[in-house]
């Protein structure tokens, strides 16, 4: 590792193969970001992101890019949780996710959880660009600290745009150095796991989803467009996943 930290990029490109399936003409990762194609499900190609090293550590900068072309269907998961660690290099680590889905394409982005270990400092930036009738299921889960551990500093921003128009743009900061009140009753209220789902489907324009609670600390709300947002808090990652899985079933995903 250099004093500047590790730079690593993973790239995925998914295309309609013309035979009822999805091909992956680009599937490449370097350094700690390895990509593996797994067994397809119908017309959907499946890719697993495998961490080949610990991290991101202080000073690291990881980027994952995925492009889904017209008529292609792509499911991206990860083999294990991502753990942000302090490392030997000082400074903030960065993890950027850049996703682009064409009209008629569909992306299911369902990685495992991100854990902010004590002493770490990580900034996550996720940007999703959708066009026309693109479909999206995007899950994001964050756990503040390992068992019995205080969290690191975590800043996370998620932006979802459809044809250049924002559907969602929000940011959260937690842990040491974050703006005051992040753990107070108006924000996390002592919970250590937070997550969200963004689901975009054309049918939501014709049959809007009504806002409702999904338990004591989870809610489903429609966004301005063919999209819904589910946000949830939980004491730990396991209970958070149960809530979000139930939300996926509620939405027929």
Per-residue pLDDT tens digits for 217-226: 999 999 988 9
- Interval 28-45: pLDDT, tens: 998 889 999 999 889 999
CA distance 82 to 56: 8
With b for 16 or more beta-carbon neighbours within 10 A and e for fewer, the 95-134 pattern comes to bebbbbbbebbbbbbbbbbbbbbbbbbbbbbbebbbbebb
**Domain contains 2:** no
Residues near 240 by Cβ (< 8 Å), separated by ≥ 6?
A: 113, 141, 143, 193, 194, 195, 232, 233, 234
| CB-based contacts of 215-222 (< 8 A; 24+ apart in sequence) | 215/243, 217/189, 217/191, 217/243, 218/243, 218/247, 220/247, 220/250, 220/251
Cα(105)–Cα(124) distance, integer angstroms: 25
Q: What is the pLDDT of residues 60-112, one digit of tens each?
A: 999 999 999 999 999 999 999 999 998 777 789 999 999 999 999 999 999 99
**For residue 155, is it within any domain?**
yes
- Give the model's pLDDT for residue 11: 98
**Is residue 122 situated within a structural domain?**
yes
Q: How confident is the model at residue 53 (pLDDT cuts 50, 70, 90)?
A: low
| 164 in any annotated domain | yes
Mean pLDDT value of segment 160-164: 97
Instruction: State the pLDDT at residue 178.
Output: 84
Work out how many domains the chain is built from and give that number.
1
In a domain, 174, yes or no: yes
Determine the Cα–Cα distance for residues 214 and 67; give it in Å rounded to an integer: 32
Residue 19 counted as domain residue: no
Residues spanned by the domain of 122: 31-250
Give the confidence band of 3 by pLDDT, cuts at 50, 70, 90. Answer: low
Contacts of residue 19, defined as CB under 8 A and 6 or more positions apart, other chains included, come to: none
Band the pLDDT of 55: cuts 50, 70, 90: confident
pTM beyond 0.85, yes or no: yes
């Amino acid at each position: 590792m250099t004093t500047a930290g590790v730079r690593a990029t993973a790239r995925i490109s998914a295309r309609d193969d013309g035979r009822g399936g999805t091909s992956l003409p680009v599937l490449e990762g370097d350094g700690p970001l390895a990509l593996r194609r797994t067994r397809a499900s119908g017309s959907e190609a499946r890719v697993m992101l495998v961490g080949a090293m610990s991290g991101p550590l202080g000073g690291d900068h990881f980027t994952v890019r995925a492009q889904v072309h017209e008529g292609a269907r792509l499911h991206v998961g990860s083999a294990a949780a991502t753990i942000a660690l302090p490392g030997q290099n000082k400074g903030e680590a960065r993890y950027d996710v850049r996703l682009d889905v064409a009209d008629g394409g569909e992306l299911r982005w369902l990685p495992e959880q991100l854990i902010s270990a004590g002493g770490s400092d990580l900034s996550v930036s996720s940007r999703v660009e959708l066009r026309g009738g693109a479909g999206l299921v995007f899950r994001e889960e964050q756990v503040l600290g390992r068992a019995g551990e205080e969290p690191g500093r975590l800043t996370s921003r998620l932006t979802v745009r459809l044809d250049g128009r924002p559907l969602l743009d929000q940011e959260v900061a937690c842990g040491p150095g974050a703006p005051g009140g992040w753990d107070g009753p108006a924000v996390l209220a002592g919970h250590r796991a937070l997550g969200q789902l963004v689901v975009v489907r054309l049918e939501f324009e014709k049959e809007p989803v009504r806002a409702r609670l999904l338990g004591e600390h989870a809610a489903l709300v429609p966004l301005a467009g063919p999209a819904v947002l589910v946000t949830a808090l939980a004491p730990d990652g396991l209970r958070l996943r149960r809530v979000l899985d139930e939300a996926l079933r509620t939405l027929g995903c």
